A and B are shown apart, each in its own frame.
Chain A
Amino acid sequence: MKNIIKLFILVPFLILTSCTDVIQIKLDEGSKIYVVDAFVNNLRSNQVIKVTTNANYFSNQETPGVSGASVILKDLTANKQYVFNYTSNGKYVFTLTPADTIAKTDHSYELNVTLDGVTYTSFAVQKRTAVIDSILVVQQEGSFGPAAKDTMYNCLLLARDKADNNPDYYWIKTFRNDTLAENPDELNVSIDGTGGIVNDPPSDTIYFTPPGTFLSFKSFHKYDKCKVEVHSVSKETYFFFIQAIAQINNGGLFATTPENVKTNIVTPDGAKTKAIGRFNMAGVATKTTLVQ
C-alpha cells in the first residue's frame, strides 16, 4: 500500500527531469555468512529449507548452496522431529507422507541447522490463516493500468479474518497459470486487511479484504488461471518482507537509508561464521479460479 502511495508521488515528478542509468561500480566483498531460508507450511507438497551463503552483489547467479548441514525441524508442541535431507543447490527437503503435514496451527517449532559443529537455531509458532470466500474477477476499465485492445481483468480476493484481539499477518501469493508472481513489486503482505497502513493495530476487528485488490499488479487475460495462497506469517516475518522489499528497490529521490534485513536465526556465541535468515511456519488457505 505504501509503495503505491510512493509510486503515485514519484511518477509525475520523475518524468519531468530525472534520469537513471545502470553504471559499473566496484563493491567490497563481504565476509562469508550463512543464509537460512526456511518457510515451511501445511501444504501437501514437499517442504524445502535452503541453506546458502551470501555472494558478491553483482554475481548475477543464484547464491552458492551449502551442503553437509544437518537440518532438523522440531515440533515442540507434539514433541516430534523432522529431518530434512540434502538434495542439491543448498536445498534440504522433507518428503511428506500422504497421511500428514508437518505444520499445525498453534504449534511451536524449533529449527536447528548444524554446520561444522555449530548449531544455529530459530523458533516459530504457526499462526492460523484466513478463510477465503471467493475470488472476484473484475473487468478493468477507466484510466488505471495499461490500455489494451482486449479487456483485461483484475482478481479481487475476498477473505475473512478471524476476529479477536490479536492482529494477524498474511503473505498473499498469487499465481497466474501456475507461475508465481514473484517480482519485488508484486509482493503482497497484509495485516488484518488494513493493508499495512497501521502496522500495529490494537485489535483485528477489521474485515479482511486486502487492499491488494489486484492480486498481482499484472493484469489477467481471459481464460487465465488465477490461484491465490494466503499464508499466515509471524509479525516479524511480515516486517521482514516489508523491509526486504524496501531494500530491493530503494531508489529515487526519496530512497530510505539502506538497512540490513532482520534475522530470526540465532548464531551461538563463539561461532566463526554468522548465520542469518528467516524461519516461518505458515498455515495456508488457497483458492483457484478461471478468469472469464
Chain B
Amino acid sequence: MRFRVLLFLSFFVQRTFSQDKFSISGYVKDSKNGESLIGATVYKLGSSVGASANEYGFFSLTLPKGEHTIAVSLIGYATYTFAVNLDKNITKNYELAEEGKQLDEIVVTGEAEDKNIKSTEMGTTKLDIKQISKIPAMFGEVDIVRAIQLLPGVTTVGEGASGFNVRGGNIDQNLILLDEAPVYNSSHLFGFFSVFNPDAVKDVKLIKGGIPSQYGGRVSSILDIRMKEGNSKKFAVNGGLGTVFSRLSIEGPIIKDKMSFIIAGRRSYIDALVKPFVKKTNPIKDAQFYFYDLTAKINYRINAKNTVFASSYFGRDVFGAVAFKFNWGNATATLRWNHIFNNKLFMNVSGFYSNYKYFLGFKLPQLNQKFEWTSNVINYSVKPDFTYFLNTKNTLRFGAQALLYDFLPYDAIGQFAEGSSVKFKSEKRYGVEYSAYIGNEHKIRPRLTFEYGLRVSLYNYIGKGTAYYYRDTIPNEPKPLDSTHHFSNGQPIKQYINPEPRFSMNYVINSESSIKASYNRMAQYLQLISNTAASTPLDVYTIASNNLKPLIADQGSVGYFRNFKDNTYETSVEVYYKYLQNQLDYVDNADLFINERVEGQLIQGLGRAYGAEFYVKKNKGKIKGWISYTLSKTERLVRGISNDNWFFSRYDRTHCLNTSLNYDISKRWNISTNFVFLSGTPASFPNSKIQIQNYNIPYNTDNIRNNYRITPYHRLDLGATYTFKKNETRRYKQTLVFSVYNAYNRRNAFSIYFQAKNGEPNQTEAVRFSVIGSIVPAITYNFNF
C-alpha cells in the first residue's frame, strides 16, 4: 500500500519536474495572533489563476517564471498584495490584518469575496466565530450548533432536542469533528447548548452536499470545527459571565511565533440558581445539575517544514440528587503533525482518541436498592492526509484512515433487595473501518472546474465477542434468536466494502454567477438507537454487524449561485435529492435499554429526502445577515410499519424560514434579531380509544404513523451588544450582551400527546408540551485583554 502511494507520488513529481514554472507556498496567518487562516485565497492579480489555503492554512501556487503581482485575501481581512520575480521556488508565510485595522496597504477587492461563485463547494457554509457571536442566542450565549440551525437545510425536532438534522438526515448522520476527532454528543443540557466553547473555536464549516472524498463515516453532513491554535504573539484572556454559565480562556505564546497554547473552560451554575425555587420537601432539593467543559490545545513549530499540535476536549453533564445520578460527556484528544515535503506536497497526520461515556444510577438507601448503568463508545484512529498542489489546474487530495470502534453497549448492576444484586453486562463490540481516498480539484477550463474523487471504505465487524443470528419473522415483530457463535480476538465476523464516489462541478457563467452540481455516496458504520421524539442522552450507539447493514446514502444536488452589488449580496438556490438505505427503525414495543438481543428488535428501512433551499446573505454594510427558506420533504419506508407505505419522518418540516440580521448602530451598539418559522413536525395521533382492564388506551384504527402535524413553530429573538469604550492605556475590552429569546412569548409545541387523567380513567385529554414556555431574557458580560 505504502509502496503504491510512493509510486503514485513519484509519477506526479516526475511529470511536473520542468523548470519553466515555479511555485510560491507557505502558510497564511492572522497578523494579530498568528492563527493560520483556513480558506484564504492566493492568486495572481487580474487572472483566474489561484490557490486556496487548506484546513491547516497551507497553500501552494505554481506560476510561470517571471514577474507577477500576487494577492492574498480572505473575507474580513485586508487583501495583501506584493510583486514577485519568480525565478525559483519560494516558501514564505504571509500575514493578513483584519479589515479596518490595516495601515497603509492598498486594498484590492479580494477574490475571496466571490468564493461562493468560483469554488466547487456547494451545500457548504462557513461561519466564522465573529459572525456567530453576533447572532442573538438563548441565554445570551454564543453557540455554534444553534447558529447552524439557522442555515438552510438544517432543522431540529424542537428545543431541547440534542443535535440537528441536515437535509432529512437523522442526528447521528452528522460527522461532528473537533480538530478531526469525532464528537458523539454535541449538546450540553439536552439540546440547549453545544459542547463547543466559542472562545476556543476558530472556524466552523458545515458541508451538506458535494462532500469531498477526504470526509467519510457519516452520511448526511460534516460539521468541521477547527480549534484556535492559541495566540502566538501575545497573551490574551477571554471570558464571560452569563446567566447560565461562565467561561474563561487563556492563550499565548510559550516561545514567540514558535509555540503557543490555548486553554478554555466553562461551567454552568443553573443548579445554584434554581435551588431557591425548589420546595424543601422536593426530593430534588439537593439536586446537582451542571455541565462543564475544558478545551486545550498546544502547537509547536519545530521548523519551517514541521509543526505539531496536540488538542483535547473534555466535557460532562451531571444531573443528580439523593436518589439518582446521571452524567454523560465526550472526551477527545488529537495529535497532529503537519509536514511540508516540498513546495507542492503537504501532509497532515492526525491520530485521535474519542470517548463518549454515559452513566446512570439511582439508589434508595433506606430500602437497600440501587441501580447503576454505564455505556460508552471509544474510537481510536490514525489518518494521514496529503494535499498535492500539482499545478495551477489540479490540486490533489489523498490519504487513508484506520478507525477502531470499541463499544460497550451496557454494564449495569441492580440491587433490589439486600444480597440479591443482578448484573447485566454486555460484551464489548468491536469494528474496524479502513478507508482510502483520492480526489482532484481540476480546473478544466477557466470557467469550468470539476472536483472528483473516490473513497473506498472497508469495514470489519470483529471479535472478541458473540455474534447473534436471528431467524426471520413477520415484519414488526422481534426476530427470534436462532444461534450464537463466539469469535476470538480480532476474528472477522462480517465484512462490508463500499466504494463511495464523489463528484462536484462548477461552471462560472460570469464573475457574478455560476451553476454547480454534485453527487456523493456516503457509507456509515454506526447508528444511534433511539425511538424517542428527542434523542435522550441515554441512547446508545450500535455498530454495523452481521445483523445490521451499514447505512448508505446517495445525494445529488444542483445549485445556482449569484452575487449582487459587488459581492454585497450572496444568493443561492440549491435543490437536492437524497436516498438512504438501511436506516434504523424499531419493532413495536421495542426494548432498547439493556437488551443483549436488541438487534432482533431493529428493522432497517429506506429513506428519501428532497427539497429546495433559498439563501440570501448580505456580507457588507451596516446591516449584515441572512434569510433562508427551505421547502422540503423527508420520508421513510419500513416493512411492517404504517401499512408498508412511505411515512413522514419525525423531523420532516415542509417550510423552514430563518432570518438572522444584525445592525451596527454605532461603534458602541450592535443590535441583532432572529426570526424563525418552521412547519410543525409530524406526529402520530390516535383516532379512538379502547378499554382493557379499565385502562383507556389510545388506538389508531388506520395504523398510519405520523398522520398529523403539530402546530407550526415560530419565534423571534432580539439581541443587543454594547461595547465599552476602550481604555487607551490598557488593552481591556468589554462588552455587554442583552438578549431576549422567544420575544413574543410564543408557546411552541414540542409535542402533543394524549393521556388518561390519573384517578379519572375515563377522562382522556390532549396535552401540549412546550419546552420553552416563556420569554427568556439574559445578560452576559464578556471581556478580553
Contacts and interface: CB of A to CB of B under 8 A. Distances in A.
The size bracket of the interface on A is 35 or more
Contacts of B1: none
Contact of A142 (B274, B366, B532): B366
B214 to A, nearest CB: 36
Interface stretch (B26-34, B400-408, B459-467, B767-775): B767-775
A135 to B, nearest CB: 14
B767 A251 contact: yes
Contacts, number: 281
B690 A35 contact: yes
A99 interface: no
Given A29-B688, A35-B692, A8 B702 contact: no
Interface in A37-93: 37, 39, 50, 52, 54-63
A30 B700 contact: yes
Given A16-B274, A259-B589, A248 B697 contact: yes
A217 to B, nearest CB: 10
A141 B366 CA distance: 7
Given A15-B278, A57-B698, A254 B765 contact: no
A211 B416 contact: yes
Contacts of A33: 688, 690, 699, 701
B594 A253 contact: no
B575 to A, nearest CB: 30
A245 B692 CA distance: 11
Contacts of A15: 274, 278, 284
B319 to A, nearest CB: 5
A185 B755 CA distance: 12
A28 interface: yes
Given A28-B687, A52-B690, A185-B758, A255 B322 contact: no
Contacts of A185: 758
Interface string B733-760: 0000000000000010011111110110
Interface string B323-361: 110100000000000000000000000000000000010
A183 B757 CA distance: 8
A253 B534 contact: yes
A220 B594 CA distance: 32
B753 A255 contact: yes
Contact of B691 (A8, A60, A63, A249): A63
A60 B364 CA distance: 38
Nearest to B162: A253
Contact of A21 (B160, B699, B756, B768): B768
B699 A213 contact: no
A197 B695 contact: no
A101 to B, nearest CB: 20
B641 to A, nearest CB: 9
Given A183-B758, A243-B589, A256 B702 contact: no
Interface string A195-219: 1011110000011011101000000
Interface string A225-263: 000000000000001001111111111111111111110
Contacts of B700: 30, 258, 260
Contact of B589 (A5, A22, A35, A246): A246
A258 B684 contact: yes
Interface stretch (B417-425, B428-436, B720-728): B417-425
A17 B189 CA distance: 12
B689 interface: yes
B16 interface: no
Contact of A209 (B287, B420, B765): B420
B463 to A, nearest CB: 21
B698 A248 contact: yes
A58 B765 contact: yes
A17 B771 contact: yes
A154 B368 CA distance: 14
Contacts of B360: 5, 9
A18 interface: yes
A257 B768 contact: no
A19 B776 CA distance: 14
Contacts of A183: 758-759, 761
A250 B766 CA distance: 11
A199 B588 contact: no
Contacts of A141: 366
A92 to B, nearest CB: 15
B589 A239 contact: yes
A27 B750 CA distance: 19
B694 interface: yes
A248 B696 contact: yes
A12 B284 contact: yes
Interface in B677-695: 683-695
B777 interface: no
B593 A2 contact: yes
A143 B766 CA distance: 33
A147 interface: yes
B764 interface: yes
A147 B285 CA distance: 13
A18 B759 contact: no
Nearest to B325: A8
Contacts of A144: 283, 322-323, 364, 366
A265 B701 CA distance: 15
Given A57-B688, A57-B754, A261-B697, A23 B767 contact: yes
B533 A30 contact: no
Best-surrounded residue of A11, A195, A207, A210 (most CB of chain B within 10 A): A11
Contacts of A197: 371, 412, 414, 422, 424, 594
Contact of B699 (A4, A19, A54, A195): A54
A39 B321 CA distance: 41
A16 B773 CA distance: 10
A242 to B, nearest CB: 7
A144 to B, nearest CB: 6
A194 interface: yes
Contact of B767 (A20, A61, A254): A20
Contacts of B693: 37, 39, 182, 278
A223 interface: no
Interface of B: 160-161, 190, 270, 274, 278, 281, 283-287, 289, 319, 321-324, 326, 360, 362, 364-367, 369, 371, 412, 414, 416-417, 420, 422, 424, 531-534, 536, 538, 586, 588-589, 591, 593-595, 597, 650, 683-703, 705, 747, 750-756, 758-759, 761-774, 776
26 contacts: A12-B284, A18-B160, A18-B769, A18-B773, A19-B769, A25-B752, A27-B687, A30-B699, A52-B691, A57-B754, A59-B689, A63-B690, A141-B366, A142-B322, A143-B283, A143-B286, A144-B322, A182-B761, A187-B695, A200-B597, A244-B695, A251-B751, A251-B753, A257-B705, A260-B588, A274-B701
Closest 7 A/B residue pairs (Cβ): A19-B773, A30-B701, A30-B687, A30-B688, A54-B688, A251-B753, A8-B324
Given A239-B589, A261-B697, 17 more contacts: A17-B160, A17-B771, A20-B769, A25-B685, A30-B686, A30-B701, A57-B698, A63-B691, A182-B694, A184-B758, A197-B594, A243-B588, A253-B160, A257-B586, A258-B686, A276-B690, A277-B690
